[in-house]
Structure 1
Amino acid sequence: MGRIAALAVRAAPFYRRRMAKADRLERLDTRRADLEVDYREALIAALKVCAAGKWGLFDHNADRAARAAVAPTIAELTELAEEIDTAREQLFMEPFELHQEFLRQRGPVDSQAVGEPKQARAWLDRLTAND
């Protein structure tokens, strides 16, 4: 066996490992992108319900019944966001900003703030502007 062939045989496992890692990262990035699409679709569906007049998504009134009604939606969005953030962390990316922004908009507001349906409509307009 020639010297170059011998070096190639010894180096082959190293290159296979690098290629396998690259493949894993590519699959993880594809999964992350799919999860972000799922999150966006779930958020848009929830915003449509809120824009139609159902309060609770933004938790402005801290109403127990409204909070309980929207709890499964918030749990689904949070679970998706946690999966996305885990993938983003492994890919050395910034945390998922859309969920962080949504969380910042939730909670009590002063009496002069727009209602949840109007806020949901504004979010929908922004999220669907590029569609």
Structure 2
Amino acid sequence: MCKNEPKCAQCDGNHHSLDSQCQVIKEYKDELKKDVEDAIQKGLLQRFSMQEKSPTFELREQDFPPLAASDNHSNKKWNIAQSRTTVESNFLRTSDTEKTIESINDNLTKLIDSNQRLENKVDLLSSNIKIHR
């Protein structure tokens, strides 16, 4: 039975597995710190210096030239001509979406009603079983 008490997977102590009071975690952190210090001394790792500044952004016109105008009014994605979106096509898509949502809502309502009827039957059956005992 669950007592809702934490149990460490590292040492079976009465704390969470990554708790800083866990001796296994303390040893792991100490060993990791020692390994990092050794790697820094050997030159395998370098400490990040906060004094190093990243270059500031400069907006230069030559870095962002204007896009060439196109006489083709259709967008091309993946070299496939895409049809232009119109108000009518947006309306049809919205209408289809609304119909789909209504259908989903209807199905959910039917499922909820069905579940409630099932729960009522189960309650009735369980009360009948209690009466016969």
Question: Which of the five TM-score ranges fits, normalised by the shorter chain?
Answer: 0.3 to 0.5
User: Relative contact order: is structure 1 or structure 2 higher (C-alpha 8 Å, sep ≥ 6)?
Assistant: 1
Greater C-alpha radius of gyration: 2
The structure in which a higher percent of residues are helix is 1
Q: Report the TM-score when normalising by structure 2.
A: 0.34
